[in-house]
Structure 1
Amino acid sequence: MKRCVVLGPIIFWTGAACALTPHQWQYRQSIDVPAAGLVRINLPLETSNIARPDLSDLRIIDSNEKEIPFLIDQPMPRPESSVLAKDFRPEITSAETRLLITTDADLTIAGVMLETPASANFIKAARVEGSNDQKDWRTLTLGAPLFRMGNGATNLRVAFPEGRWQFLRVVVDDNRTPPIPWTNARLIVAGSRAPTEPVSVTIKSRDENPGMTRLGIDLGAANLRIASIRIGTSEPVFTRTVKVAAPELSAQNLQEETLSSEVLYRVDLNGKVEAHLDLPIDKQIFGRELVLLIDNGDSPPLLVSEVRADRRITRLIFFAATPGAYSLLSGNSQCELPRYDLSHLGDQLRQAGTTQGQLSLPAQNPGYNPAANLPQDFATGAKIDVAPWKFRKPIQIAQPGAQQIELDPDILARAAPDFRDLRVVSENAQLPYLIECTSIERTVSLNPGIANDPKRPTFSRWKLKLPQAALPLTRVTCASASGLFERTFRLWEELTDERGDQYPHELAQTTWRRVPNQPAGQLAVSFAALPKTDTVLIETDNGDNPPIELHDFRGYYPVTRIIFASPKSQSVTLYYGNEEAASPRYDAKLVAAQLLRSERTPAALGSQEILKSERVTETLTGSARYIFWGVLGIVVVALLILISRLLPKAT
């Protein structure tokens, strides 16, 4: 220990950085150092939220504002791995299946993953025993669930306390269901753990779609390395496949990228309740939002009452020559990565004895000079001439800061399909924005009408009226009271070409089958193309069967949001409807970095305003366009003849 203290000043002061100017950093935190020597401080999530994701803008200074070198310590676990068992011997008895597994005695094993070709649904309990001589067996776990469900949820892993065993015996209970074939096993080699601390999270939104529940989770801060999350539910028995996703920048848009997928369950095996409610993540989340996608299949939505999260701890280690007050600076977008040359000493410094320093919460640096930290404000973009745009809607902003708008059907139907013509405008200047494509779906009721063709008596046809033309529906659902049928359904719309002839625009085709004693599900048809009109036709051939009855038609479209920053409560308008507009080019990475770490405020849209009426020739299609030009030509010729007759004749 004394040697570490003696070497500390040499190690750190020889690597001291050049003098810095503290007023270039926006935030300051005080560090209370009780004793000289190596000091360790834990970074709170408030610091992670305001610093760069890689912490390259952090600086430590002493009371004389001299820079102090430091080491960033982020303890990470060693991940688990798996190896194939050396030998695998199954044995089926009257009421159980015994699987004798030979392992590598040098491995520390934390579980086994069984393999089976069985495709049928099953749920069984397993007991695992360990031995080094096949004589003395020790029970490692009892009543572990193994299952495969109709909704795709599967668990073939059995976990138990870490240990070294030359032999493992897995005993599968076959009392309630017939045995299934087990073909092999993989040994789960134990990893190592790393410290975590809980994060207070909130469920900000809940959206229910057929077969899917979407939860929006607010982590409270950005740039956190989340180790895992855990759901809380009062459901006594369930199995669900749950995915965790986060908004990430792709090109100019935010897309939901899947981070982790896990089967969560709570099952009752012979009176013993087993549960697995944790989703491992171990990734840095650059924004402050996560999305949970719960696959309910044909089951009712899972009622999630709470979500908990744990994050990895980040520590700074530095040498304090004297006890007293030090400062941690953060919030500088322009400074370079410090070079302290301490990485080769990382292991020694992490293992050395340290004193715990007390770090305050971030506060505004009193001497902060924004001009020294440019570009710090990119909320306003270039000037814009809005004359070519046809439509606009006012945006009602409740408070300044990051704003979030959900595009409504008016905008979705009239904007360009790739949204290149959207502009957020304030005081004749653009406000840079990001488009967020979400997994949320909104539903609209479709008014059906019978449209049977007398020339095709065996066919049933319905005409579905959309709220407006070109609404980007991605699928349609409906229900039927019929109990036994198998039908192929075709969905299309009628378009008109330049000559005025109608032709079908195919949207989807699918087969729906229902047999007795089957749960009454819905027909769900995904569109291969987006509709262009306000009418969709659906038909099926009944053959010699009674006509099928359909009802409760619904259409679904994905939710798209615009995210932007409004520096003050000012008049902001959304413009759309300009076929000639090109995609805007903003500094997307800079915009995303600011918006993802900010808590968004939902903004409301006002009523649509029509700025430019469409020209007559744009509203006419097919033969109507030719008739218009023909009539116009006749009128012009008639006027010329009339004018020529009224003119005085030359004498």
Structure 2
Amino acid sequence: MNRAAISLLFIFSGSPVYALTPNQWQFRQTIEVPAPGLVQVNLSAETINIARPNLSDVRIVDAGEKELPFLIDQSMPRAESTVRPKDFHAEIIPVETRLLITTGTDLAIAGITLETPAGTNFVKSVRVEGSNDQKNWRTLTSGDPVFRMGNGAASLRVQFPEGKCQFLRVVVDDNRTEPLPWTGARLIIAGSPAPTEPVAVTIKSRDENPGMTRLGLDLGAANLRIASIRIGMSEPVFTRTVTVATPELSEEKLHEQTLSSAVLYRVDLNGKIEARLDIPIEKQVYGRELVLLIDNGDSPPLVVSEIRAERRMTRLLFFASAAGSYNLLSGNSQCVPPRYDLSQLGDQLRRAGAAEGRLSLPALNPYYDAAANLPQGFATGAKIDITPWKFRKPVQVTKAGAQQLELDPDVLARAMPNLRDLRVVSEEVQLPYLIERTSINRTVTLATGSANDSERPNVSRWQLKLPQAAIPITRITCATDSPLFERTFRIWEELTDERGDKYAGELAQATWRRVPNQPAGQLAAALERTPRSDTILIETDNGDNPPIELHDFRGYYPATRVIFTSTKSQPTALYYGNDEAAAPQYDAKLIAAQLLRSERMAAALGPEETLKSERVRETLNGSARYIFWGVLGIVVVALLVLISRLLPKA
């Protein structure tokens, strides 16, 4: 046994052993240790999913249920860096440009990134040579393409075997195209790799929005530290900007937070295919869902055949006094993080040789006491008096567990704009929920008719009818057969104020144009606010031009979901339509921690039920309100006159 191993043995043998109460941990796994000494255990995705995100609830116990200290080792790669060279000189000679670089560093160089002014599209082939005396040159790489294309695809990076060089010579082939003004370069200093493990990714949903494809991905587990994502596409040539996002809690609602974005491409460069299909992430994803947004622009959607992901590995290091079975405990939301004071030994432990412990799959702890783990009132909220609510829809649950319920136009139109009056109720008890705002856009059919004014013959006007008032559409699109035009369009609705007077409520203004040979596409306008009525008007002044023709109008509203937990046996309903209701106060962080790690089931809404009629003061508005009170006043006066006549005279 070497000196380092003896030192570690002494340290661990002298470490305190702690007693704990195993029934407070929900899950238990067996660690089979082949021999006494230092042991390392690689944590599976299943273990990471059921533990806290920072693993502060993980414990290792021996056969006597005594707690053993351990160290968490999460190996991360050392990121590559770039440095400026000491000197850079460019020389243009016939059919090639030579870039002479004095590195000025003793660090090992793994590549270079060339610099040239933006705005120029090109494809060049380069050769890189290295030397320490500018006399003897050796080729480091040859025939590598550098390029920049108008669709966003670009690569100015050239990699070669890592090594030390005092001088670099980059030879750019100008045989096919004009020379470029190369203005500088950066030297790439290689980082260090770290182990990864593949993650099984499932494409759960695909939504096609105008110019955008949205893929919902399931990682199979929460709290994974994702290193990268690779997208499999069958198209031979393409370029797309792809964004990776994840639902995260913000202001007590789930919003899609961007993790990374990159331009992916597969291009043909003079017969050589160059591709970039990987998106670096290097972040911990606290839920099990990812959202992939593919910006198609005016191009057709791509066929995505598969998604692959890699995660960073996490291992535990501990000292086993004997071979045999040990236990790993996890799943405790209330325990205090352990303090083993082993962080100062981290480098020594990572360098020391360790036996591989074999970890079983998680199993429920038969002695688990749920009451000792969860806070009171977590599963359900308070009782509720549903009398003030006007509408209800039954919620159809197909399987117990975490539920995902998308709100339909009926709910969105009749609920408060900020959804503070939503309640998920089962047997007169609230079920805590989270609101999830997604990037999905749903379509609303807009019945279209002409609304031209005979007194304004140069103005074309269209009337768009929504299925009902106050559907929160944020975007309108349409198509046209007119080949050449440019018009400014006004989008508005007719509203009524408290006195009964009508006025125009502006929604948007957009300039649409079409030129010959332009690919046919939708005309789109983003609304400045959501409409309050069920009728939208669009008009434009044609001037001395022929009237423009528009058709196929569509409205879009963002999909909003309610996320909650329910059992299949529970009769559950969604209540809405109460303008006096305050926003519910749930423990959003605790709810999110549970729901984000769970696989969601798609729940559905049933038919709407009207629970109470609108009150008179709500149905009477504008001039109708004044007419009502006027008639009521006349009736009161008439009754008083009648009563006075019936009374006996003195």
| Same structural fold, with TM-score higher than 0.5 when normalized by the shorter chain | yes
The CA distance in 1 between the partners of 2:149 and 2:174, in whole Å, is: 15
Distance change (3 Å), C-alpha of 1:514 and 1:317: same
* Corresponding residue number in structure 2 for 1:58: 58
Contact kept, 8 Å, 2:140 with 2:160, in 1: the verdict is: no
Q: Which amino acid aligns with 2:293?
A: L
With 501-510 and 551-560 compared, the bigger mean Cα shift is at: 501-510
The CA distance in 1 between the partners of 2:549 and 2:435, in whole Å, is: 41
* Corresponding residue number in structure 2 for 1:492: 492
The CA distance in 2 between the partners of 1:422 and 1:338, in whole Å, is: 40
Contact kept, 8 Å, 1:231 with 1:308, in 2: the verdict is: yes
* Corresponding residue number in structure 1 for 2:141: 140
With 614-623 and 82-91 compared, the bigger mean Cα shift is at: 82-91
Q: Which amino acid aligns with 1:269?
A: L
* Corresponding residue number in structure 2 for 1:393: 393
Is 1:67–2:67 an aligned residue pair?
yes
- Alpha-carbon offset, residue 649 of structure 1: 2.6
The CA distance in 2 between the partners of 1:333 and 1:561, in whole Å, is: 26
- Alpha-carbon offset, residue 640 of structure 1: 3.0
Q: Which whole-Å deviations, capped at 9, do the CAs of 1:591-639 have from their partners, x for residues lacking one?
A: 0000000000000100011111112331233222222222222233223
- Alpha-carbon offset, residue 115 of structure 1: 3.6
- Alpha-carbon offset, residue 17 of structure 1: 4.0
RMSD over aligned Cα atoms: 2.0
Is 1:335–2:305 an aligned residue pair?
no
* Corresponding residue number in structure 1 for 2:126: 127
- Alpha-carbon offset, residue 567 of structure 1: 4.0
- Alpha-carbon offset, residue 96 of structure 1: 5.3
SS of the residue corresponding to residue 618 of structure 1 reads: helix
Mark the runs of 5 or more structure 2 residues left unpaired by the alignment.
none
The CA distance in 2 between the partners of 1:600 and 1:88, in whole Å, is: 56
- Alpha-carbon offset, residue 220 of structure 1: 0.4
Q: How many residues align?
A: 648
- Alpha-carbon offset, residue 461 of structure 1: 1.3
Distance change (3 Å), C-alpha of 1:273 and 1:97: same
Distance change (3 Å), C-alpha of 1:438 and 1:179: farther
Contact kept, 8 Å, 2:144 with 2:158, in 1: the verdict is: no
Q: Which amino acid aligns with 1:201?
A: V
- Alpha-carbon offset, residue 24 of structure 1: 1.6
Contact kept, 8 Å, 2:425 with 2:431, in 1: the verdict is: yes
SS of the residue corresponding to residue 19 of structure 2 reads: coil
User: In the TM superposition, what are the counterparts of 1:222-237 in structure 2 within 5 Å?
Assistant: 222-237=222-237
Contact kept, 8 Å, 1:475 with 1:524, in 2: the verdict is: yes
With 556-565 and 83-92 compared, the bigger mean Cα shift is at: 83-92
The CA distance in 1 between the partners of 2:586 and 2:464, in whole Å, is: 40
Contact kept, 8 Å, 1:437 with 1:559, in 2: the verdict is: yes
The CA distance in 2 between the partners of 1:125 and 1:183, in whole Å, is: 16
Contact kept, 8 Å, 2:224 with 2:286, in 1: the verdict is: yes
With 423-432 and 488-497 compared, the bigger mean Cα shift is at: 488-497
Q: Which amino acid aligns with 1:163?
A: G
Contact kept, 8 Å, 2:91 with 2:99, in 1: the verdict is: yes
Q: Which amino acid aligns with 2:512?
A: W
Percent identical among aligned pairs is 71
The CA distance in 1 between the partners of 2:84 and 2:76, in whole Å, is: 26
The CA distance in 2 between the partners of 1:525 and 1:93, in whole Å, is: 53
The CA distance in 2 between the partners of 1:514 and 1:172, in whole Å, is: 42
- Alpha-carbon offset, residue 123 of structure 1: 4.7
* Corresponding residue number in structure 2 for 1:446: 446
Distance change (3 Å), C-alpha of 1:99 and 1:211: farther
Q: Which amino acid aligns with 2:459?
A: F
* Corresponding residue number in structure 1 for 2:370: 370
- Alpha-carbon offset, residue 153 of structure 1: 4.7
The CA distance in 1 between the partners of 2:130 and 2:524, in whole Å, is: 53
With 201-210 and 508-517 compared, the bigger mean Cα shift is at: 508-517
The CA distance in 2 between the partners of 1:53 and 1:574, in whole Å, is: 32
Q: Which whole-Å deviations, capped at 9, do the CAs of 1:339-385 have from their partners, x for residues lacking one?
A: 11110010001000111111111111122222322328712110111
Distance change (3 Å), C-alpha of 1:116 and 1:347: same
Contact kept, 8 Å, 2:96 with 2:173, in 1: the verdict is: yes
Contact kept, 8 Å, 2:398 with 2:568, in 1: the verdict is: no
SS of the residue corresponding to residue 349 of structure 2 reads: helix
The CA distance in 2 between the partners of 1:449 and 1:7, in whole Å, is: 86
SS of the residue corresponding to residue 105 of structure 2 reads: coil
Distance change (3 Å), C-alpha of 1:558 and 1:123: farther
Is 1:502–2:502 an aligned residue pair?
yes
User: In the TM superposition, what are the counterparts of 1:443-592 in structure 2 within 5 Å?
Assistant: 443-592=443-592
Q: Which amino acid aligns with 1:649?
A: P
Q: Which whole-Å deviations, capped at 9, do the CAs of 1:129-178 have from their partners, x for residues lacking one?
A: 1312455241425343522334x454444444433344444455556665
The CA distance in 2 between the partners of 1:604 and 1:76, in whole Å, is: 42
* Corresponding residue number in structure 1 for 2:648: 649
Contact kept, 8 Å, 1:146 with 1:156, in 2: the verdict is: yes
Contact kept, 8 Å, 2:244 with 2:259, in 1: the verdict is: yes
- Alpha-carbon offset, residue 118 of structure 1: 3.4
Contact kept, 8 Å, 1:146 with 1:157, in 2: the verdict is: no
User: In the TM superposition, what are the counterparts of 1:89-104 in structure 2 within 5 Å?
Assistant: 89-92=89-92, 97-104=97-104
Distance change (3 Å), C-alpha of 1:153 and 1:610: farther
- Alpha-carbon offset, residue 643 of structure 1: 3.8
SS of the residue corresponding to residue 603 of structure 1 reads: strand
- Alpha-carbon offset, residue 488 of structure 1: 1.2
Contact kept, 8 Å, 1:494 with 1:502, in 2: the verdict is: yes
* Corresponding residue number in structure 2 for 1:318: 318
The CA distance in 2 between the partners of 1:134 and 1:541, in whole Å, is: 72
Contact kept, 8 Å, 1:222 with 1:288, in 2: the verdict is: yes
- Alpha-carbon offset, residue 31 of structure 1: 0.9
- Alpha-carbon offset, residue 312 of structure 1: 0.5
* Corresponding residue number in structure 2 for 1:380: 380
- Alpha-carbon offset, residue 247 of structure 1: 0.6
The CA distance in 1 between the partners of 2:447 and 2:176, in whole Å, is: 49
- Alpha-carbon offset, residue 10 of structure 1: 2.2
SS of the residue corresponding to residue 221 of structure 1 reads: coil
The CA distance in 2 between the partners of 1:3 and 1:586, in whole Å, is: 56
- Alpha-carbon offset, residue 445 of structure 1: 2.2
- Alpha-carbon offset, residue 456 of structure 1: 2.4
SS of the residue corresponding to residue 598 of structure 1 reads: coil
Distance change (3 Å), C-alpha of 1:413 and 1:19: same
With 345-354 and 166-175 compared, the bigger mean Cα shift is at: 166-175
Distance change (3 Å), C-alpha of 1:59 and 1:208: same
User: In the TM superposition, what are the counterparts of 1:229-378 in structure 2 within 5 Å?
Assistant: 229-375=229-375, 378=378
The CA distance in 2 between the partners of 1:642 and 1:181, in whole Å, is: 101
Q: Which amino acid aligns with 2:445?
A: S
The CA distance in 2 between the partners of 1:180 and 1:504, in whole Å, is: 56
* Corresponding residue number in structure 2 for 1:46: 46
The CA distance in 2 between the partners of 1:201 and 1:601, in whole Å, is: 17
